[in-house]
Amino acid sequence: MSSHAFRAALRSTARFAPQRNLLASTSSSVAPRQTLFSLRQTARSYASHAPHTTPAVHHSESDAIWVIGSLLVFGPLIYKLTAPPPKKKAGESDHHHQKKEEAVEEAVEEKEEETTAAAAVPAATKHEKDYYPYILIGAGTASFAAMEAIREKDPSAAILIIGNEDIGPYMRPPLSKEMWFNKEEETTKNLSFKDWQGKERNIVLHGKETIQSIDQEALEKIESAESGVKLLTGATVEDLNVAEQSLTLNNGKVLKYGKVLLATGGIPKTLPVLQGAGEGKVTTFRSVEDFKKLHSLVKSADKKIVIVGGGFLGSELAVAVSHYGKEKNVKVTQIFPEDGNMGLVFPRYLSKWTTSQVEQEGVTVKPNSRVASTKAVGEQVELTLENGEKVLADHVVVAVGIEANVELAKKAGLELDEHRGGVVVNAELQARRNVYCAGDMTSFHDVTLGRRRVEHYDNAILGGRVAGQNMASDKLHKVYKHQSMFWSDLGPHIGYEAVGILDSKLSTVSIWTKKPTVAAADAAATEEAPAKEEAADKKDEGKRERATATPLPAEAVKVEDKEKYNKGLVLYLKDKKIVGLLMWNNFGKVEDARKILGQVYDTEKVEALVKPFGIHEE
């Protein structure tokens, strides 16, 4: 089995196993509860009908015998029922209270069963024109997850999703990953791809709900919202009136809502210095249309592509495009200001080693570089770097992050997070009454790590689901406690999964299966290690076969030695607490990582802490 197939198999298991268990437990509990409900109905049916037998007539002389017999039989029972309860012994539970709680729980279960039974056959509701009980603004992953959650709790719900693209909700991660590792021409046309296990999939999300796409003309003809899901494509919301629970579309049409979800995502950042590069020569990369344009360009031979940015997207795209265009002599150059790839995320030593691996994939990497100016030269773009170096490109892709799309929220008067960006919501993902938010544009309270804004696919899926569940619930609201994971692959030797906060400015502790080569003493002494926890005596480290609680100094690694970091774990610390975990070529351990987030790091207990990750296993 290839390394990619192995990664995919583990990830598939890790991501979907909890869902399968949930489905299994749900289905197995339905039958007993339905049986119990049926038994209750039967018992009450018998109790509510008068007996059809005629009572026997006794002679007066036998009455005394019956009275005596009844006292003998029922006397002790009557005494037991009427006698005061015995005093409880120390530590003995209140049996009567327990029975009462069980009776209340049975009553609640019965009510839930009756409610579920009633919901299974939804009654048609007549809504006034242009009113929708649920409107989801943004047609991305978060809205898709919210839609499914709403329909699960409210099967008769009428939902309107509003999106500015001409396509339904789709997955963004494959646009910079799997889509570039297929050679079939149908990939672009059908938006399909083969995952690492060889299974063909499509980036468009498909669930059990049928989504009907409509345009603004078709929307105008709807007299009353009906049960189901409609997707309004090619439209934007220009204004949101929270007080009146209404919104205005870009064509001026006003719609009213019962509850609304803002899932407007993020807007790619741009660099003003690239504005003079010529029309159409510089693009960002976020949408399906961005992918199609770059994919079409790379299919031509001898093209030069420059990618500005060394983070998640820039590094993934550099490796993917280089791989795809290798046979057509496509040259990829990556430019960024950090010391190495993922320099804002990985410890410095790991960032530099990652850069060496990206270069092996055919990418020309220019770290510690910034674009000073650009100009059009014929059909190409000339980029002048701050050091005076000039780079020619047929096309430039800017991948320097996104900013939360909060323009609509700002107009609506919602509270914004000035520090992190995004709309401020509570732990239930609610911004105001009947207004919810999910996805990249949400600043939420993480009960473990504090207030955060997360830009990962897993966060959009689970956050959208919780928001949808709360939108469809009038009383019981669910708190968003999920610690989202993210993953990436940068060539055949680098694959990782992570949870929590990964910031290269934080202190880190690294544990590896094999120790990297130690540099000369003078080289280690001239550079500063990024974390005190990683300081160690070079003499002792040179003798170790595996990492312990005091790993190698980060800057004592010679990148030129090409020492492989085969498998490892990096802990990110803040105030001595573990706030993030990077699992390097170590897959299927996300749940183990979530369990130790927020724990205090103790050097004496590090072996027990990392044992579930199998770092030291053969």
DSSP state of 224: S
Alpha-carbon 108 to chain mean position:
32
Q: Residue 534 and residue 612: Cα distance in Å, rounded?
A: 21
> Which helix (H) or strand (E) is 40 found in, with range?
helix 3-48
DSSP string, 158-214: EEEEE-SSSS--B-SGGGGTGGGG---THHHHHTEEE-TTS-EEESB---SSPEEEE
Predicted local distance difference test score (pLDDT) of residue 589: 95
The closest alpha carbon to 345, from 583, 508, 510, 504, belongs to: 504
**Residue 538: what are its φ and ψ, rounded to 5°?**
-65, -35
Contact 174, 203 (CB under 8 A): yes
Alpha-carbon torsion 234, 178, 463, 17, what sign?
Answer: positive
**Token pair for residue 456?**
């990962």
Q: Residue 55 and residue 440: Cα distance in Å, rounded?
A: 75
Contact 499, 484 (CB under 8 A): yes
Q: Residue 307 and residue 393: Cα distance in Å, rounded?
A: 10
Coil, strand or helix at 239: strand
For the chain, the farthest-separated pair of C-alpha atoms sits apart, in whole angstroms, at 125
In the sheet with 450-452, reading across from the earlier edge strand, the strands are: 423-424, 442-446, 450-452
Predicted local distance difference test score (pLDDT) of residue 452: 94
DSSP state of 496: E
Alpha-carbon torsion 288, 289, 292, 293, what sign?
Answer: negative
3-state secondary structure string across 445-474: EECCCEEECCCCHHHHHHHHHHHHHHHCCC
Q: Where are any strands of DSSP class E within 323-429?
A: 331-335, 363-366, 371-377, 380-385, 390-393, 395-398, 402-404, 423-424
The closest alpha carbon to 424, from 453, 395, 396, belongs to: 453
Contact 136, 432 (CB under 8 A): no
Alpha-carbon torsion 103, 105, 109, 115, what sign?
Answer: positive
**Residue 526: what are its φ and ψ, rounded to 5°?**
-85, -15
Contact 216, 235 (CB under 8 A): yes
Give the list of residues 6+ apart from residue 418 with CB closer than 8 angstroms, or none: none
In the numeric block, the tokens 């055919």 are attached to 362
In the sheet with 363-366, reading across from the earlier edge strand, the strands are: 282-284, 395-398, 304-308, 331-335, 363-366
**How many C-beta neighbours within 10 Å does residue 35 have?**
10
**Residue 73: what are its φ and ψ, rounded to 5°?**
-80, -50
Q: Residue 31 and residue 16: Cα distance in Å, rounded?
A: 24
Instruction: State the amino acid at position 455 in one-letter form.
Output: E
Which ranges of the chain have pLDDT less than 70? 1-124, 196, 514-563, 617-618
Alpha helices in 88-179 (DSSP H): 95-119, 141-153
DSSP state of 327: G
pTM, full prediction: 0.74
Q: Residue 246 and residue 589: Cα distance in Å, rounded?
A: 45
Q: Residue 591 and residue 360: Cα distance in Å, rounded?
A: 32
Q: Residue 570 and residue 584: Cα distance in Å, rounded?
A: 8
DSSP state of 267: E
The number of C-alpha atoms within 13 Å of 618 and in the hemisphere containing its C-beta is: 0
Cα 221 to Cα 129, 224, 275, 444: the distances in Å are 9, 9, 43, 38
* pLDDT tens profile 420-465: 999 999 999 999 999 999 999 999 999 899 999 999 999 999 999 9
* pLDDT tens profile 87-111: 444 433 443 344 344 444 444 444 4
